[in-house]
Chain A
Amino acid sequence: MPIQVKRLLVVFAVFIGVMLGLKYFLTPESWREFGPYRGKALTEIADQEAKYVQMETCAMCHDSIADLKDQGLHISIQCEICHGPGYRHVEDENIDMVIPENSDFCMTCHAINAARSTSIIKQIDAIEHSEGEDCISCHNPHEPWL
């Protein structure tokens, strides 16, 4: 074997050795636990904090309001849709939830739009209906009526 080839083989052996060494040391520990990815990523993603605590949690304290809401037309609506995520409030009751008072918020669902099925949701023209009066001055969102 010519000397050039011998020398180059040494260089390549060193190079490949270094690459394999790097591969060995830099590959994350849970690699290929389930597939070609970091298995630990699954638990890391799963461990993220849930910000919406859902109605059952709200009802543990606010049971009367939850009951009232569940008897009305807004039964399918989760508390946190209007009041915002409750993960901080659950830990510290002094942290206030959102109380939307503006009619624009009601209009995200109840504004007239031809794409909205009238059999699913009541729609009104806010100006025509109340001349700009806030919805909540007549309607209780926890107990809406038609």
Chain B
Amino acid sequence: MNKYESLYEALANLDGYIYPNEIALNWDLLIVMYPYITGLVAGAFILASLNRVFAIKALRPTYEISLLTALSFMLVATMPLITHLGQPWRFYEMLVTPHLTSAMAIFGFVYLWYLMVVLLLEIWFDYRYDMVIWSKQKKGFMSFVYKVLTLWVLDTSPQSRRTDEKIGYFITVVGIPSAFLLHGYVGFIFGSIKANPWWSTVMMPVIFLFSAMVSGIALVMFIYMVVTYLRKQKIDMNTVDTISKYLFYILIIDFSLESLDQIHRIYEADESFDILKILVHGKLFFTFFIMQIGVGVIIPLLTMGTMMIKKPREKIRKILYLIISICVLVGIFYMRWNVVIGGQLFSKSFYGFTSYKVDMISGSGFWLSLLWFIIPFFILAFLLWLLPPWKKKESIH
């Protein structure tokens, strides 16, 4: 009985009619975290690629930080999904016997491709020369660790560095469509469900992609500022100004795409429109209008827009950038929330709603979600210690 307490509560608070099996919300907070974390990966990586492929000098100090951020979130990206499974130990079946018509099965391979072939390789080629140097500087165990990481390719000749550079560049070029694929694919997982009119839109992958870029860029901006502060170094204002410029433009694109989706929905007003209208104005009002659009879009856009016209002093700008990055991160979190949770709040019979509350005390979902969001920061701290970008020798290019 206790196990079903929240369900009985939902049952007592049903609005209208809902299919009995829909009272239980199967995809909870953990599934909100899944596209959120994957989005941070894709976004951070795309920022790194912008820097490299388009040779934007101002972004140089964030290049390694973006890559390592992407890696640390990538390593846990599947964990919310796996821990949410009813049978978590069977997750390997998705790789062993993938069902090729399922978007979720193919995700395992997209993930592996991105992690193994793109992210790790790009970091490896970027750091190989430095790791060889470090393996010579350090003694004992750490020297061995760096040697292992170089895969015993200890060549430090200019020619080998040019090769690193060339292949690294190539991987970056391959990486951009891969990052698009990674997060577009997450969007497709939702967008391809024709049973759910809130999800089923061709815009979904594109919206997910751009919101991923927005959140990833905000995260890197945040991490760069905090890390630099912790190292007691001077924040390169030119760098954060440039990042914020990109954040501004991509946020505009993202918001336009989302608006286009909603306008299209409102104008077409198909059979599902009535219930979705009640959903957005009712149960999603706070998370949609206030958090996703207000905090996540309007406040950052207005602040950054104003700052473009009249630049405030450095100190104020720093604080504003920190606030903006947090606002954007919160806003994108609620965007995922509105997609995942919102899509399950209304009945597919279009006759009513169920309700959902995050269970902080007895439910494991909340604590696991928190865990999977915090762990990447520890991984990042470890990676920054192991592969400090600030100790890298200036590359030859």
Are A and B in direct contact (Cβ within 8 Å)?
yes
Query: Which one, A4, A7, A27, contacts B167 given CB within 8 A?
Result: A4
Count of chain A residues with a beta carbon within 8 Å of a chain B beta carbon? 17
Contact flag A3-B153 (CB < 8 Å), given A15-B116, A26-B92: yes
Contact flag A4-B163 (CB < 8 Å), given A22-B92, A26-B92: yes
Contact flag A8-B151 (CB < 8 Å), given A2-B160, A3-B160, A15-B116: yes
Query: Which one, A3, A23, A27, contacts B155 given CB within 8 A?
Result: A3
- Residue B96 CB within 8 A of the other chain: yes
In the complex, the answer to whether A4 meets B153 with C-beta atoms within 8 Å is yes
- In the assembled complex, the CB of B348 is this many whole angstroms from the nearest CB of chain A, namely 23
In the complex, the answer to whether B92 meets A4 with C-beta atoms within 8 Å is no
Q: Which of B138-156 contact A (CB under 8 A)?
A: 151-153, 155
Query: Which one, A4, A15, A19, contacts B160 given CB within 8 A?
Result: A4
In the complex, the answer to whether A5 meets B96 with C-beta atoms within 8 Å is no
Binding site secondary structure of chain A? helix
- A1-30 vs B, Cβ < 8 Å mask (1 yes, 0 no): 011110110011001000100110011100
- What B residues does A3 contact at CB under 8 A? 153, 155, 160
A3 to B152: give the CA distance in the assembly, Å. Answer: 10
In the complex, the answer to whether A22 meets B96 with C-beta atoms within 8 Å is yes
A-binding residues in B (CB < 8 A): 92-93, 95-97, 99-100, 116, 121, 124-125, 128, 151-153, 155, 160, 163-164, 167
13 A–B contact pairs at CB < 8 A? Answer: A3-B153, A3-B160, A7-B151, A7-B152, A8-B121, A8-B124, A11-B151, A19-B95, A22-B95, A23-B96, A27-B96, A36-B97, A36-B99
A4-B125, A15-B116, A36-B100 known; 4 new pairs, CB 8 Å cut-off, are: A2-B163, A3-B153, A4-B163, A11-B151
B-binding residues in A (CB < 8 A): 2-5, 7-8, 11-12, 15, 19, 22-23, 26-28, 31, 36
